[in-house]
Every structure is written in C-alpha cells, then in structure tokens.
Amino acid sequence: MTKSLYFVKINYIIKNKAENTCMKGLVIIMKVLIVGGVAGGAAAAARLRRLDETAEIILFERGEYISFANCGLPYYIGGTITAKDALTLQTPKSMNKRFNIDVRTKSEVTKIDTTAKTVTVKDLNTEKEYTEIYDKLILSPGASPIKPPIEGISSNKVFTLRNIPDTYRIKDHLEKEKPQKAAVVGGGYIGVEMAENLKNAGLDVTVVELAEHLIAPLDFDMAADVHNYILEKGINIILNNGVKKIEDNENGLKLVLNDGSLDVDMLIMSVGVRPDTAFLESSGIEKNDRGSIIVNEYMETNAKDVYAVGDAVEIKNFVTKSPAFIPLAGPAGKQGRIAADNICGSKSSYGGSIGSAILKLFDMTVATTGINEKTANAQGINYDKTYTYSPSHAGYYPGGKNMSLKLLWEKDTKKIIGAQIVGFDGVDKRMDVLACAIRLGAKVTDLTELELCYAPPFSSAKDPVNMAGFVAENVINGKMKQFFWHDVAHLKRDGSVTLLDVRTKTEAENGMIDGFINIPVDELREHLNMLPKDKPVYVHCHTGLRSYIACRILAAHGYDCYNLAGGWRLYKSVTDAKRSPDYPCYKCE
C-alpha cells in the first residue's frame, strides 16, 4: 500500500511579510486518484497538474482509452472521419509526458472505502486486485448505455455506441457482414446521428422512437420539421412505438414492436444512458434514485475529500434550479476543472447547466438550449413563446436559407428560459448567442439591443436573434396578440369570429385552413368593409410577418386582432405530421 502523504525536504523561500525573513520548510505532496477519464476525469487531471506541479496524480480507466472524441464516433462509422487515431485526444503516453500523470488503463475500480481513504483496483490484464490510498479522490465514471431487458438483446447483431471499442465493433460488422437494413432504436441526438451515418454508409435505415417525436429537447412543433427532412433523406421513422422482443435468425433480426414488426440485419440501441455508479454501492457516497452521484456546487460529494464530475453526477438545471441529469461533454469538462480548483485551494463553483446542444443531420442543423415547453409546464413556470422564420443571411446574397426559431421566456421576469432552432447555415452562432443570453440572465427584450456582426454573406441588418426579440417585445407591450397552431382547431366556425388569410392568391390556391377567407395584406385596406368590427379577427400568413402587419392595420381601424404565431408554414408542418396516415406520427394525437 502506498503511503498517503510524502514529505520531501527541499530548500525554498517563503517571504514572511511581517519579519521579511526567509525560512526552510517541507513541501507536502498531495496524492489524487481519479476514477475515469474522457471529458471530466481527463480535464480534472490536466487542471490539477497545471495548478500543482508536485502532486501525485493517478488516473484509472477501465477501458483502453482515457480521452477520446465520443461525440465524433458516429462520423467514423459513416466514413466522414477516416483515421482511427483522429478519435483519440490523449493517450496514456502523451498524458504522462506532458502532464506527468500516472495513467492506468484496463484498471477497474471496484470498491471505495471513504473511511480508510482507499480504492480497490482490479488490473483487467492480470485479474489481480490491489489498493491505493488517496488524499483526494475524483470520481468520473461516466454513464453507460441503457440496455432494456428485452428478449434477444444480447444478439451479436445488436450494438450500442458509447466508446471507441463500440465504434470499432460496429464498423467491423458493416465491413465484414455487409448488412443492408438497420434499425436505430431511440431518436435522441446519438440515435439520429447514427441514422444519418448508417444511411451515408449505404444502409436502409429506420428509427424507432417510443415518444411522439425525435430529439427530446425539442417540442413537437419544432421536431415536425426534422421529421419531414429526415423522411426526405430516405430514413424511415416509426414513432409512438417500441421494441418488445428481438428474434435473431439466419436472415437477420425480426423486431417485434408494440405495434407491428420490422425486419432488419442489425440494430443500434440508443435509448439513453444511466450513471455508471454501481461500484459505489458500499461506499456511503450519496446517490439519487437514478444512480447519479449527488454533489454540491463545488463538486464535493457527502464523503470528505471525494469529488465527482461528468455524466455520473446530479447537477442543477440553471433555468429551473431543480436537480437534473444532463450528460454533455462541455459541462463535464467544466466540472472537472472546478473539482481540481477546489482541491488545490482555489474556490470555484458550478452554477448548473442549461443543456446547450447541437446536432448535424445531413445538411440540417438542430440546436437547443434551456428548457422546452414540456419542462416549463412540469415546473409550473408562467411562460410565453414566439416563433420566427428568418433567413440565415441577407436575402439578396445567394445561398441563404430560413431557420425556424422558437423562444420561451418567463412572463413575470421576461428572462429567456429556452430556445430551439431548426435550420441550416448559421444556426449554431444564433443558438450560442441565446445560450449566452440565458446564462447572463438576459430578458427577451434585451435581444433587440444586441449589436451582432453583419455583412450580407453572414447575416442581415436585423439578425434572426434581433427579430426574435422584436417579436417578443411586440407581444409583451401589447402590439401583437397571438394564437397558436394548437388553437386553430378550436376556433369557432359559426360566424362569431373572423378567420382571415392574408397570403397572396397564389399561396392560398395551394392550400388554406378550413374556415378562413383570403384577402392579401396589400389589398386589406380596400376590403375592410367585408370584416365586421364587432368580431375578433384571427389572421395568418405564411410565417407570421405579413399577418402582423395586417393586425397593425386592423388594430388602427378598431379591430381586435390575433396573429397566428409561426404562420401557415408551422401550422401545416405540425398538422400534416399529426393527421396523415402515411406519416409515422399520425397516431400521436
């Protein structure tokens, strides 16, 4: 057993401010053990070394790789990333050479004794166990893929994707077995990325999702655009359905679903992750019902001198202030840095996560930050929302495409609590601005004042973020009253209200909402006599901009006017998804 503290006699100078003298002393070398690498553990190790050159740092990793780009794994499978070594960010050798860290791979920590301050380690190469004593301990065991107790899930044609060995197994299967059809069970970020990359690898791909829509951080109305796009790209989606049983046969796999069945050659399970913390059962370290390690803002557990970071910990949702599980690489790295700071005496705290995330889906970009409507309703937050549909850059400059932006804010404080964007070019930078705004406590009206970079190839003089602020400001100050796509079906068609479509005649000929009459906005003033003033007027256009102008005209003439947020475009996208028997979500109502 290694001793806990080492005392090394050296000569060093300490300036005594009172007596201005020098003295000789002892340096105490601190021993820090880190369980797990990747984002949290590797970040903590590197930060510790930068803060303390003398500390003994040992990092244990159960697998072969201590620091790898797990977000890039699907792109190696799809062929976008071709070099294996591109996935490895640090090796044990490079980590030792640069940071003087003792990295022990294939070393599984099986037990922690917080009283004796020891960890028990199994060397997976020799199957022998040994103990190490610590002064400080950082837990970064991460999370492991959930494998539901489904009959047949142990088939060698069923895969999960969490680490580099998983990636190689999938890649080898594609190259050797030449599968033609694949199913991805789970429509989260990794599931959708895997679907794209399997499609790029030439497979016929189906995504099976138990919920009513893909990508859980999105609300259904924003996910509808994703559904339409992924179908256009040739990926099938089955929603509101799950796998009950997997039958392995010589022809491949038969997936017995809650409703129906599906024949494929291989299956990727991507139904989420759970904290990999079973080894802590007898340690006394406090966990929640999910298995997440409970920590305070300094990343300290309830055990003295034991810290925890990354996907295995329960953190605070920055918006709701409630406990949350947000397994993302960015927060994990920050938490590792904070734990190292506190171990080395620099008081540092973690304020929580807003869950900012982004997804590439072929040419489409999907990004979220903060909370969605589902969470806001569950938390009892009194919120409002707006939708905008803005070009990524100046309309007269070639190549621009519109992005759909949904914004949520708290009515009482006007603080932004969430945003979702689905589009193409420029989505990332707009979401980054909104994520900063949430973190800094900005009000939705503050977005109108942001001075963002503008040149025709990059943006418009009124950036999409500014436009979202302008629309919200109009709602807040009463210049615009809204109704939403989910209100349309409940509007009375008995003549007690006026339903008005202000798109052009050509647009209206391509489809109208039942019960609406068409008067183009540019002809509205000449046809006011057709609209009774004693009835509310519900107006829509394609995106909500022209109908806002129509509402301002009508309000000036004494009408009570309501504008359809997101317009015909959003309404059609969502209602088509809910109605069509040819569309996999037709049962979600």
Does residue 10 have a pLDDT over 60? no
C-alpha dihedral (561, 468, 543, 500), degrees to nearest 10: 0
- pLDDT at res. 97: 87
- pLDDT at res. 394: 85
pLDDT, tens digit, 9 for 90 and up, residues 127-142: 999 999 999 999 999 9
Phi, psi of 503, deg, nearest 5? -75, 175
pLDDT, tens digit, 9 for 90 and up, residues 37-86: 888 999 999 999 999 999 999 999 998 877 666 677 888 788 787 776 66
Mean pLDDT computed over 228-237: 94
What confidence category does residue 88 fall into, taking pLDDT thresholds of 50, 70 and 90? low
Q: Determine the Cα–Cα distance for residues 18 and 63; give it in Å rounded to an integer.
A: 53
- pLDDT at res. 400: 87
The DSSP-derived string for 170-192 is HHHHHHHH--SEEEEE--SHHHH
Q: Which SS3 state, helix, strand or coil, does residue 366 take?
A: strand
pLDDT, tens digit, 9 for 90 and up, residues 322-340: 999 999 989 999 999 999 9
Contacts of 149 (CB under 8 A, 6+ apart): none
- pLDDT at res. 414: 98
Closest by Cα among 165, 58, 39 to 107: 58
CB distance 245 to 152 below 8 Å: yes
- pLDDT at res. 250: 87
pLDDT, tens digit, 9 for 90 and up, residues 347-356: 999 999 999 9
Q: Determine the Cα–Cα distance for residues 139 and 161; give it in Å rounded to an integer.
A: 22
Report the alpha-carbon angle 37-39-45, nearest 5. Answer: 55
pLDDT, tens digit, 9 for 90 and up, residues 485-504: 999 999 999 999 999 999 99
pLDDT, tens digit, 9 for 90 and up, residues 171-188: 999 999 999 999 999 999
Closest by Cα among 352, 329, 295 to 43: 329
Q: Which SS3 state, helix, strand or coil, does residue 496 take?
A: coil
Closest by Cα among 464, 359, 459 to 399: 459
Mean pLDDT computed over 507-532: 96
How many Cα atoms within 13 Å fall on the side-chain side of residue 333? 9
Mean pLDDT computed over 149-168: 91
Q: Which SS3 state, helix, strand or coil, does residue 93 take?
A: helix
Does residue 475 have a pLDDT over 60? yes
Does residue 549 have a pLDDT over 60? yes
Mean pLDDT computed over 514-535: 96
Which amino acid is residue 481, in one-letter code? Answer: K
Residue 358 forms beta bridges with which residues? 367
Average pLDDT, the chain: 90
What confidence category does residue 585 fall into, taking pLDDT thresholds of 50, 70 and 90? very low
Choose between 581 and 54: higher pLDDT.
Answer: 54
What confidence category does residue 582 fall into, taking pLDDT thresholds of 50, 70 and 90? very low
What confidence category does residue 530 fall into, taking pLDDT thresholds of 50, 70 and 90? very high
The DSSP-derived string for 297-337 is TTSB-SSTTEEE-GGGEEEEBTTT-SEE----HHHHHHHHH
CB distance 129 to 121 below 8 Å: yes
Strands (E), 50-116: 56-61, 67-68, 88-90, 102-105, 107-113
Describe the crossing of helices 38-51 and 92-99 by its angle, rounded to 10 degrees: 20
Strands (E), 411-534: 416-423, 481-483, 498-501, 517-518
Q: Determine the Cα–Cα distance for residues 46 and 57; give it in Å rounded to an integer.
A: 10
Does residue 22 have a pLDDT over 50? no
Can 344 be counted among the known catalytic residues?
no
CA distances for 365 relative to 184, 385, 422, 436, angstroms? 20, 21, 6, 19
CB distance 163 to 74 below 8 Å: no
- pLDDT at res. 24: 37
- pLDDT at res. 578: 65
Q: Which SS3 state, helix, strand or coil, does residue 394 take?
A: coil
Q: Which of 71, 344, 436, 588 is catalytic?
A: 71
Choose between 4 and 286: higher pLDDT.
Answer: 286
The DSSP-derived string for 134-181 is -SEEEE---EEE-----BTTT-TTEEE-SSHHHHHHHHHHHHHH--SE
Does residue 20 have a pLDDT over 70? no
Q: Determine the Cα–Cα distance for residues 257 and 245; give it in Å rounded to an integer.
A: 7
In the chain, % of residues over pLDDT 90: 82
Segments in 310-410 forming alpha helices (H)? 329-343, 373-378
Q: Sheet holding 481-483: strands in order across?
A: 481-483, 561-564, 537-540, 498-501, 517-518
- pLDDT at res. 67: 64
Does residue 584 have a pLDDT over 90? no
CB distance 170 to 77 below 8 Å: yes
The rounded Cα 229 to chain-centroid distance in angstroms is 19
CB distance 235 to 364 below 8 Å: no
Q: Determine the Cα–Cα distance for residues 241 and 206; give it in Å rounded to an integer.
A: 12
pLDDT, tens digit, 9 for 90 and up, residues 531-545: 999 999 999 999 999
The DSSP-derived string for 215-250 is STTS-HHHHHHHHHHHHHTT-EEE-S--EEEEEEET
Place of tokens 């088939």: 155
- pLDDT at res. 583: 44
- pLDDT at res. 121: 97
CB distance 286 to 294 below 8 Å: yes
How many Å is the Cα radius of gyration of the chain? 28
Predicted TM-score of the model (pTM): 0.90
What confidence category does residue 581 fall into, taking pLDDT thresholds of 50, 70 and 90? very low
